[in-house]
Amino acid sequence: MTTTADDDGPTFSHFEAFRLINFTFIKAIQAVTAPDLSPRERAEKLMRYHGDLLAAYGPGVPLPFSEFRRKLRGPMDGLLPPWLDRSQFDDLSFPVVDAEGCVTGNAFDLQWETSQLHRILKRLRRIGRMRFTEEQLQDEIDQDQMYEILKGRGDEQYVKDRTTLVECPAGTIEELNKRGLPLNAIRYYEAIPYHAVYRTWWFPCTVCQWPMKISKRMSAGREYYRVACLYGRHADTGASFMFWPTSGDAPVLHPDSPDAPAPHEAALFLGTGVAVPEAKPVEGHLALKRGVWRYTCVPGLHELRLHSVLRERLAATQTDVGEAVMLWPMSDAYDHRVEVKGPDGRSHVFTVDVKDYTHARVLAESLHRNEGDKGGAEWLVVPDHRADQIPLLTLTCDKYGMKVATMTDFAKRVCQSAGVRWA
Ligand SMILES: [Zn+2]
């Protein structure tokens, strides 16, 4: 496969090829590591993905089966054919799968983020020359269908249900039922993922409550386990622990030392709720699918926090703060709509989309293809820990009249317009 020009549209994108290749590798890795497959099922799946990959590589790029299997354990960059232009991506030297056979956060995010881009490209122009199977699109369809299910119950209920989803990425069936989620939404919960299970136990992340990943380590000849959230920022800021193996009892976690936020970012910092989580039984508990957790719950916590901080700070100066500060308004056209009156009586409106992408270049390309924000937001806001993405995103957003800021800088700006001091 090579880059070819279309008569009536943008050229065939390296992102599209990349997406297919990346997807195939991730599925192949899952086939290698999933504990519930028989050797025969495993072999069949691997052969199929090997074939898919050869088709995507195109003629002239050989990949024997043994090398394909070996590459699954290597870095992302090693999986790409020589003809694929790497300059459109950030660093690709990270591994696709970690020592426990779990797809790394970096690789998982890249797959999802390029999928979003793929959808945009597909909308712009039908892609006839590549085979995208149902399975390849399932994760994205899941996410879309879930929002449709939530939207079916009206705007006010939508905000409630989506908040519930963000706040409850795991729980017992009884707990989930009690929270009043629509029945159709419950099917996005699955058994606790095997990478998060120790014997019959799992541990919720102290920031997001989703099951933390467990990995076996050795120190001075002694075996121990590390427990950390798959979302790196949570692990770096408190959701990281260790425990010693046990013979029958539930293990007890000991915290690692977390990073602390800069003082001026403290208001929007997602700290940990409880210091050390207790082991929960795998039996009877469910957790959201990884994609839904990563792209609904993880950014959702930032969205909820921004919303509550703005409401709190603006309450004294705005006559109806409920109308002034809105979350997921107009059937979720964007994430926030804020309308404040300044001390001089002038009105200021801010429409915002929060973007929590790991790979800023992919986000920039998506914005470029959409010619700004799809829902028409004028502000693109990234969580504070993604401040290093601001220069690149500003370059793209400038072209489409959008402004870019970190969450704290944005909140400061809103408060300033309303004559409220940010301290
Ligand atoms: Zn977490």
pLDDT of residue 286: 97
* CA of 119 relative to ligand 1 center, distance in Å: 27
pLDDT of residue 123: 65
* CA of 321 relative to ligand 1 center, distance in Å: 30
Q: Give the integer Cα–Cα distance in Å for 384 and 411.
A: 11
Q: pLDDT (tens digit, 9 = 90+) per residue, 280-333?
A: 999 999 999 988 999 899 999 999 999 999 999 999 888 888 889 999 987 778
Q: 56 in helix, strand or coil?
A: helix
Q: Spell out the residues 6+ positions from residue 138 whose beta carbon is closer than 8 angstroms to its own.
A: none
Q: Give the integer Cα–Cα distance in Å for 204 and 408.
A: 27
- Residues surrounding ion ligand 1 at CB below 5 Å: 205, 207-208, 229, 231, 234
Residue spans of the chain under pLDDT 70: 1-13, 121-143, 257-259, 272-274
* CA of 102 relative to ligand 1 center, distance in Å: 16
Q: Give the integer Cα–Cα distance in Å for 271 and 251.
A: 24
* CA of 205 relative to ligand 1 center, distance in Å: 5
pLDDT of residue 137: 53
pLDDT of residue 141: 59
3-state helix, strand, coil in the chain (%, to 5): 45, 15, 35
**In angstroms, how far is CA 218 from the centroid of its own chain?**
30
Q: Give the integer Cα–Cα distance in Å for 99 and 215.
A: 8
Is the pTM here over 0.85, yes or no? no
* CA of 228 relative to ligand 1 center, distance in Å: 8
Q: Give the integer Cα–Cα distance in Å for 147 and 335.
A: 13
pLDDT of residue 13: 63
pLDDT of residue 1: 38
pLDDT of residue 259: 66
Report DSSP letters for 166-213, one per residue: HH-SEEEHHHHHHTT--HHHHTTEEEPPGGG-BTTEE-B-TTT-SBPE
* CA of 132 relative to ligand 1 center, distance in Å: 31
* CA of 414 relative to ligand 1 center, distance in Å: 28
Q: Give the integer Cα–Cα distance in Å for 1 and 21.
A: 12
